[in-house]
Amino acid sequence: AQSVTQLDSQVPVFEEAPVELRCNYSSSVSVYLFWYVQYPNQGLQLLLKYLSGSTLVKGINGFEAEFNKSQTSFHLRKPSVHISDTAEYFCAVSDRSGGGADGLTFGKGTHLIIQP
Amino acid sequence: KAGVTQTPRYLIKTRGQQVTLSCSPISGHRSVSWYQQTPGQGLQFLFEYFSETQRNKGNFPGRFSGRQFSNSRSEMNVSTLELGDSALYLCASSLEGVSTDTQYFGPGTRLTVL
């Protein structure tokens, strides 16, 4: 089984400032890693995913994340945020070997609040 | 390409009743997964259907069931509703499955149990 911890439930940031949303995971097996975003009254949308290869992954809307195996982390970053980035962000993992037996395991989410 | 659609968007039921939620995946997607989202527990995996067969199941009681039709549309049923079943129910579709594929989520059905 896996678990995902998003260390901050809420992150306020001024517009055009950089942001980092933290994600740590725990798993007895290798995992794939994902970041999803949920805008108000909408479903989740994939920002980026790490399956293999380069540990720095670039996604949509200027977001990127870095996989750190030794620290079991997958932090999400953006160099300059906009008002439109206000949303709930979810880190998730899936089991590499289990064929998705546990589905996606999500963290509790981080609410990103952009202040003008 | 049309996205994932879920009907109805909102439902109000009373304890003890049963409810059926519907999900229409993106055309060509064969995998449909269901998730329950609550403020306390967050997003939890219910089950995944692939080619009309339940392939994976989360840790939920047997009151939660589902099925998938030959056109990949899926339904989720909850019997003997409890207050704790109040939640946003999200479905997600993908080409082949949960493990590596991008999951495309619908807007959800918000279920309120009174």
CA distance B33 to chain A (A): 8
* Chain A with chain B: Cβ pairs closer than 8 A: 70
Chain A residues with CB-CB distance to B102 below 8 A: 46, 49
Cβ of B98 and A46 within 8 Å? no
CB within 8 Å of chain A, chain B residues 60-99 = 90, 92, 97-99
Distances, alpha carbon B63 to alpha carbons A4, A112, B18, B81, in Å: 27, 35, 9, 8
Contact assessment for residue B99 and residue B83, using Cβ atoms and an 8 Å cutoff: no
CA distance B30 to chain A (A): 14
Chain A residues with CB-CB distance to B92 below 8 A: 43-44
Which one is predicted more confidently, B57 or A23?
A23
Cβ of A102 and B43 within 8 Å? no
Provide the pLDDT for residue A81: 97
Provide the pLDDT for residue A24: 97
Tell whether B55 is within 8 A of chain A (Cβ): yes
Cβ of B92 and A44 within 8 Å? yes
Rounded Cα–Cα distance for residues A102 and B58 (Å): 6
Task: Please state, for a pLDDT cut of 90, what percent of chain B lies above it.
Answer: 89
Listed range (A26-35, A55-64, B4-13) with the worst mean pLDDT: A26-35
Picking from A31, A44, A95, A110 by the largest number of B CB atoms within 10 A of its own CB, the best residue to mutate is A44
Cβ of B105 and A109 within 8 Å? no
Provide the pLDDT for residue A99: 63
Other beta carbons within 10 Å of B43: 25
Distances, alpha carbon B60 to alpha carbons A14, A20, A32, B35, in Å: 41, 34, 23, 11
Residue range A57-110, pLDDT digits in tens: 999 999 999 999 999 999 999 999 999 999 999 999 988 776 666 788 999 999
